[in-house]
Amino acid sequence: MNTMTLPINFAYVISAGLFIFGLKMLSSPATARRGNMLSALGMLLAIVVTLFNAGLDYKWILVGVVIGTAIGLVAAYRVQMTSMPEMVALFNGFGGIASLLLAWGEYHQHPELSVFIALVTFLSAFIGGITFSGSMVAFGKLAEIMPSKAIVFSGQHIVNGAILLAALVSGVIFGMNPSTSYAIFLVIIVVSLLFGVTSVIPIGGADMPVVISLLNSYSGLAACAAGFVINNTILIVAGALVGASGIILTNIMCKAMNRSLANVLFSGFGATTQAAGSGEQQGEIRPATAEDVYYILEAADSVAFVPGYGLAVAQAQHVVQELGELLEQNGSEVSYAIHPVAGRMPGHMNVLLAEANVSYDQLVEMDDINPRMDTIDVCVVIGANDVVNPAALEDESSPIYGMPIIETFRAKTVIVLKRSMNPGFAGIQNALFFNPNTRMYFGDAKASIQALVGEFKSD
């Protein structure tokens, strides 16, 4: 057995290098795909060399690998791009449960643990469990199997605190005497699963980007802890890379909403309709017909589309791209301005538009479009609301005050596509809709844009 250990570990070093190169190449859309391939190659290498370990039970390995590959491939090729957040949540959860099962299996085989190994076994099972059940709840919310609104009840913080305390106490008992604490270990698993559920249910639909990023980070940290359990550096390196990635994304998402992580996790934001800043700022809204909008767009030199989650719901990405093409043929300069938290996960809108063949150099970040907003003739807001609400800049009493927004109100004309005048996720009225330079174009986003495409083509 020892003869193979050294070459296997050297191969792991190469795998780690490939993961790192792969992530580095994700820094540009031009090289990203090759980067992903390199990373996959690193994984394949690690898996193949692991099979050279002595005394493995190949029969069951084969069973697991065949079933897993079949499910993974079918899921990956069947999933709609609009459902990507659900998919990522689901895969995250599977990573978490794998770490939990690994720790459990190791403990079952060798119950005599040192204090350090007991600690990391506890962490691996605990974080893995939270990742799994938390991701399943996130999946349920995103797939709308369960209500996507925040679920809050009185005493929620006390319940969560009690669960966390129970986990820590059982962790300590387990750590002191692991070989006789099998029952305690099972309690830890149950408690971790419970904690995952109770900590994700109070988080509302539009805060999902934060939750998914955080769970992504947890799945990496769980893998890391599992690496400590089995004394394997490749698990630690890979897990730490993923953990870091999740933390960075979580941070970006929180900044883009001007809220702290604690606020996102514990406030139950959006569960109740905030009274602040609503109602009073009524004014006249100016509805527009397809023909009106057509004349406005036809005369525009520059057009910026601002997509939000409504675009995904209406599956309107393809018609939007078609309209964009027609506008370009008509001589307009077309760009797509994307807020960091638009959609249900980081980068959600970018993927949808890329699917519809929008060139990636037309996808513009919020910080790049805002400085030149004054020069843009027409902003077309599709299914976005809070991320374009000027109250975030002007109204100190607004619950979203301080959140960076795409400053569409500074464009010469704003066209807002919307189903009705219902307020958005945060439950606040949007002053943009009453601005003198705003025209409201009511209807289903996809049908509305199709009508515009029709107007352009009939001309």
Partner 1 sequence: MEAVFLTFVFVLSIFLGFELISKVPSTLHTPLMSGSNAISGITMIGSLASLKADNLTVAVILGTLAVTFATINVVGGYAVTNRMLEMFKKKDDGGAK
Nearer to partner 1, 175 or 346 (CB): 346
CA–CA distance, 415 with 440 (Å, rounded to integer)? 6
Residues 250 to 309 in contact with partner 1, rule: CB under 8 A: 252
Q: Which amino acid is at 200?
A: V
Look at residue 442 and give its three-state secondary structure.
strand
Q: Is 60 in the site for partner 1 (CB under 8 A)?
A: yes
* Closest to 89 measured CA to CA, from 345, 347, 349, 355: 345
CA–CA distance, 379 with 411 (Å, rounded to integer)? 6
Nearer to partner 1, 222 or 264 (CB): 222
Nearer to partner 1, 233 or 272 (CB): 233
7, 10, 17, 67: residue in contact with partner 1 (rule CB under 8 A): 67
Q: Is 233 in the site for partner 1 (CB under 8 A)?
A: yes
Nearer to partner 1, 287 or 331 (CB): 331
Site string for partner 1, 84-103 (x = CB under 8 A): x--xx--xx-xx-xxx-xx-
Q: Is 237 in the site for partner 1 (CB under 8 A)?
A: yes
Active site residue 386: yes
Site string for partner 1, 161-200 (x = CB under 8 A): ----------------------------------------
Site size toward partner 1, by CB under 8 A: 109
Q: Is 10 in the site for partner 1 (CB under 8 A)?
A: no
Q: Considering only 77-85, 143-151, 163-171, 392-400, which stretch makes contact with partner 1 by CB under 8 A?
A: 77-85
Nearer to partner 1, 34 or 157 (CB): 34
Q: Is 108 in the site for partner 1 (CB under 8 A)?
A: yes
- Is residue 339 classed exposed, middle or buried when 0-12, 13-18 and 19+ CB atoms within 10 A define those classes? buried
Q: Is 244 in the site for partner 1 (CB under 8 A)?
A: yes
Antiparallel, parallel or unpaired: β 333-338 and 363-365:
parallel
Query: Measured at the alpha carbon of residue 186, what is the angle toward residues 184 and 192, in degrees to the nearest 5?
Result: 100
Residues 111 to 150 in contact with partner 1, rule: CB under 8 A: 116
Antiparallel, parallel or unpaired: β 413-418 and 333-338:
unpaired
Q: Is 72 in the site for partner 1 (CB under 8 A)?
A: yes
Site string for partner 1, 201-230 (x = CB under 8 A): -----------xx--x--xx-xxx-xxxxx
Residues 352 to 371 in contact with partner 1, rule: CB under 8 A: 354-355, 357, 359-361, 363, 365
Shortest CB 65 distance to partner 1, Å: 5
Neighbours of 63 (CB within 10 A): 11
Shortest CB 398 distance to partner 1, Å: 25
Shortest CB 21 distance to partner 1, Å: 10
Shortest CB 414 distance to partner 1, Å: 23
Shortest CB 459 distance to partner 1, Å: 24
CA–CA distance, 358 with 361 (Å, rounded to integer)? 9
* Structural contact between residues 96 and 129, judged by C-beta atoms closer than 8 angstroms: yes
* Closest to 397 measured CA to CA, from 274, 275, 277, 279: 277
* Structural contact between residues 279 and 260, judged by C-beta atoms closer than 8 angstroms: no
Alpha-carbon dihedral 405, 411, 417, 422, rounded to 10 degrees? 50
Among residues 207, 386, 444, 459, the one annotated as catalytic is 386
CA–CA distance, 277 with 257 (Å, rounded to integer)? 18
Residues 17 to 36 in contact with partner 1, rule: CB under 8 A: 19-20, 22-24, 26-30, 32-33, 36
Strands laid side by side in the 378-382 sheet: 363-365, 333-338, 302-307, 378-382, 413-418, 438-442
7, 10, 17, 56: residue in contact with partner 1 (rule CB under 8 A): 56
- Is residue 423 classed exposed, middle or buried when 0-12, 13-18 and 19+ CB atoms within 10 A define those classes? middle
Nearer to partner 1, 253 or 288 (CB): 253
CA–CA distance, 406 with 183 (Å, rounded to integer)? 53
Here the tokens at position 459 are: 């001309």
Q: Is 37 in the site for partner 1 (CB under 8 A)?
A: yes
Shortest CB 240 distance to partner 1, Å: 3
Q: Is 81 in the site for partner 1 (CB under 8 A)?
A: yes
What are residue 338's phi and psi, to 5 degrees?
-120, 120
14, 43, 261, 276: residue in contact with partner 1 (rule CB under 8 A): 43
13, 51, 145, 176: residue in contact with partner 1 (rule CB under 8 A): 51
* Structural contact between residues 453 and 319, judged by C-beta atoms closer than 8 angstroms: yes
CA–CA distance, 123 with 188 (Å, rounded to integer)? 10
DSSP conformational letter for 344: S
Catalytic residues: 386
